[in-house]
A and B are shown apart, each in its own frame.
Chain A
Amino acid sequence: EAQVTQNPRYLITVTGKKLTVTCSQNMNHEYMSWYRQDPGLGLRQIYYSMNVEVTDKGDVPEGYKVSRKEKRNFPLILESPSPNQTSLYFCASSLLLTSGRSTDTQYFGPGTRLTVL
């Protein structure tokens, strides 16, 4: 089954304790992306990756890191989480179109609900 998986689904942690949210897709998609969803703000892109070893900032990258060592995996790293990073996080993947200048339909993982105390 084609899917995007995320782990963990729920996480409660404390300020400053490093954490990693994993994301994996089995569709051989080049493009992967992380979004956060906050009440009243909708979804905003944090980071994206066009392919292995190619990553770039989205709209709200502060406080996050990513890596893309393998095509299927795109972990999101919070090295020193703070309460304002409490949010619902989604990973997404898609094919690239138009010589890499746009994306096809993005398929989303189930979400990770993170609470930072």
Chain B
Amino acid sequence: AQKVTQAQTEISVVEKEDVTLDCVYETRDTTYYLFWYKQPPSGELVFLIRRNSFDEQNEISGRYSWNFQKSTSSFNFTITASQVVDSAVYFCALSETRATGGGADGLTFGKGTHLIIQP
């Protein structure tokens, strides 16, 4: 069964520090998608990035970067020069492709990492 582990329950850093959120996944599928979502204190879920299993290129978007390594089944998220507005719960999620049959699996979420950026 697919599984997503975010071992860091809570991380607290001082503003402007770099911080990395870890995500390790398990899947038997060869075709799958990985996601990161942000949940700010207001509660909504904001999509950050989607990566498919055939694309191991790292991605950078402003202060955010993602490191996908199939060899270690990890999809880590780094925030450079953190800011107070980055304070949120961050979820890593996995979506597989069903080999047969009808239906499409939903997202399997990790339990989230609560990131606190102190001024």
Contacts and interface: CB of A to CB of B under 8 A. Distances in A.
Interface string A86-105: 00101010001110111111
B7 to A, nearest CB: 13
A31 B104 contact: yes
Interface stretch (A13-21, A43-51, A62-70, A75-83): A43-51
Contacts of B111: 40-42
A106 interface: yes
Given A102-B95, A105-B50, A43 B107 contact: yes
A86 B102 CA distance: 31
Nearest to A56: B103
Contact-residue bracket for chain A: 20 to 34
Contact of A43 (B98, B102, B109): B109
Contact of B104 (A43, A90, A92, A100): A100
Interface stretch (B18-26, B39-47, B66-74): B39-47
Contact of B45 (A56, A90, A113): A90
A100 B99 CA distance: 11
B43 A96 contact: no
A25 interface: no
B64 interface: no
A9 B15 CA distance: 32
B55 interface: no
A74 interface: no
B91 interface: yes
A4 B8 CA distance: 30
A48 B106 contact: yes
Nearest to A59: B106
Interface of A: 31, 33, 35, 40-45, 48, 50, 56, 58-59, 88, 90, 92, 96-98, 100-108, 110-111, 113
Interface of B: 31, 33, 35, 37, 43-45, 47, 50, 91, 95-99, 102-107, 109-112
